[in-house]
Amino acid sequence: VDLNPHQEEFHQAVREVLEDIIPYIEDKPEYEEAAILERMCEPDRIITFRVTWVDDNNKVNVNRAFRVQFNNSIGPYKGGLRFHPSVNLGILKFLGFEQSLKNALTTLPLGGAKGGSDFDPKGKSDAEIFRFCQSMMSELHRHIGEHTDIPAGDIGVGKREISYLFGQYKKLNNRFTGTITGKGVNFGGSLIRTEATGYGLVYFVTHMLDDLGRDLEGKEVLVSGSGNVAIYACEKLIDLGARIITLSDSDGTVHDKDGVDEEKLDFVKELKEVRRGRIREYAEEYGCEYYEGKKPWHIPCDIALPCATQNEITGKDAQNLLNSNVQLVAEGANMPCTDKATQLFREADIPYAPGKACNAGGVAVSGLEISQNALGIPWSAEEVNDRLFEIMKRIHEKCVEHGTGDNGKLDYVKGANIAGFKKVAEAMLDYGPI
């Protein structure tokens, strides 16, 4: 904490992991001798730079951008770029730290990184987004590469931003390589990458339910957010017969008691991906409840899938969900539960899966995109989807292997933390003290 003042989210992420890792390495002195924990909590490298861009009124704007290259022990740095006014070093360090463990869980050779800027894409024209991306890549390109560091999307960075960023990367380097993932399918992108995080989340949930002899049919699900992860989680949930009763954005929550169906989801895709509108328009279109300024967690449900942002479920929200008999919680977003909420879910007698396990589908398919780019051969949607399904199954098995206590109780958080740590730490031990 003293070494990293004012980085609360980073402290929170590290604390949660170390609570499981410290007891795990107690009888393994080689980890302490090699200072593995200290090394794992310190990023390999942090790059910070100015992004200057001109808006549509010819005003010169300045933003701050970062790339946190956290750990490349098991593969090149890999992790998304986030554009949001809240972005700061502490948030990107938490995301990069989590990403290192998450990427290890995918079983693919991917190190961990995260980057982004405090730039706010909301309300900006396409031309402004283009100029910002071009300016950002003019510096970022020096630090990335297909064998060095491979960025992708995250909050505020979708297909449009990735295309602008990759176009500029390609121009500056005069090379067409798989340096960024989430690219359009016409220029090296993988089929199913757009859907991967949401689909992967739902696949993971089906494995959790399988263990209990249950399935998704007829389950009432709260989904928060209405961005990439939320939309494609909904698509797969509808496929598997679940009833989604909420969606949200940073302005409020819609509560659709009849459930979001395919047609309504198409409306959300057009609203969010094309028109870039607000979720309240869904309530206006379909005549359902809209709670301005509220999150979904006061509404009774069977399953809660937070898919918006960090710390969106507080202790009070978690208690509300438990009081209304929620049966399962799985994190689509990164660290959406506060410390208190995490503690309440872990102590309760319900399955609760952390983001680093159940939202790993996005980075896993990014890994598959890198493989396809290296081979120069695109795979079919079916092939990518099958591999995604298998990867989520293997992550689930790893959680069960490392998270099942002597009393038979399965703690997904502990399982994911230990399995991810073990893989990265063993590689670091092999390298010696570098």
Can you tell me the distance from the alpha carbon of 309 to that of 95, in angstroms, rounded to the nearest whole number?
A: 11
Per CB under 6 A, 155 contacts ligand NDP: yes
Minimum distance from residue 35 beta carbon to ligand NDP (Å):
29
DSSP string, 279-340: THHHHHHHT-EEEET--GGGS--SEEE--S-TT-B-HHHHHHHHHTT--EEE-SSSS-B-HH
Is there a contact between 139 and 65 (Cβ–Cβ < 8 Å)? yes
CB of 204 to ligand NDP, least distance (A): 12
**Interface characters, 220-249, with ligand NDP (x: CB under 6 A):** -----xxxxxx------------------x
Is 114 marked active-site?
yes
Span of 147-155, 263-271, 318-326, 369-377 interacting with ligand NDP by CB under 6 A: 147-155
| Residue 77 · residue 70 · CB < 8 Å | yes
Tokens of 372: 């396809």
User: Does 334 interact with ligand NDP (rule: CB under 6 A)?
Assistant: yes
Report d(CA 257, CA 260) in Å as an integer. 9
Residue at 259: amino acid letter? G
Selected catalytic residue, list 28, 59, 93, 114: 114
Q: Single out the residue of 149, 154, 161, 235 in contact with ligand NDP (rule: CB under 6 A).
A: 154
> Which region among 8-16, 62-70, 124-132, 152-160 touches ligand NDP (by CB under 6 A)?
152-160
Within 48-107, the residues that bind ligand NDP by CB under 6 A are none
Binding mask 279-318 for ligand NDP (x = CB under 6 A): ----------------------------xxx---------
Binder among 43, 332, 354, 420 for ligand NDP (CB under 6 A): 332
Q: Long-range contacts made by residues 396-399, C-beta under 8 angstroms, separation at least 24?
A: 396/204, 396/207, 396/208, 396/357, 398/105, 398/357, 399/353, 399/357
Write out the E strands in 159-223. 220-223
Pick from 90, 96, 153, 296 the residue near ligand NDP by CB under 6 A: 153
Block residue for tokens 């990014």: 366
User: The tokens 């500029």 sit on which residue?
Assistant: 168
**Binding of ligand NDP by 359 (CB under 6 A):** yes
The distance in angstroms from the start CA to the end CA of the chain is 23
* Contact present, 337 and 360 (Cβ < 8 Å): no
H or E segment to which residue 69 belongs: strand 60-71
Q: Which residues make up each annotated binding site for substrate? A: 78, 99, 102, 153, 366
Torsion of CA 52, 56, 226, 349, to 10 degrees: 30
| Per-residue contact flags (x/-) with ligand NDP for residues 186 to 225, judged by CB under 6 A | -----------x---------------------------x
CA distance 317 to 337: 9
User: 190: which DSSP letter?
Assistant: P
For the bound state, the minimum distance from the C-beta of residue 12 to ligand NDP, rounded and expressed in Å, comes to: 14
Closest CB to ligand NDP among residues 114, 423? 114
Report the residue number, 73 or 309, with the smaller CB distance to ligand NDP.
309
Closer to ligand NDP at the Cβ: 36 or 366? 366
Query: Among residues 145, 150, 127, 91, which one has the least CA distance to residue 362?
Result: 150
Nearer to ligand NDP, 229 or 238 (CB): 229
Give the nearer residue to ligand NDP in terms of CB position, either 63 or 197.
197
Closest to ligand NDP by CB, 250 or 371? 250
The distance of closest approach from Cβ of residue 38 to ligand NDP in the complex, given in angstroms and rounded to an integer, is 26
Q: Please report, as ranges, the residues that interact with ligand NDP according to CB under 6 A.
A: 153-156, 158, 197, 225-230, 249-251, 307-309, 332-334, 359, 362
Return the active site residues.
Answer: 114
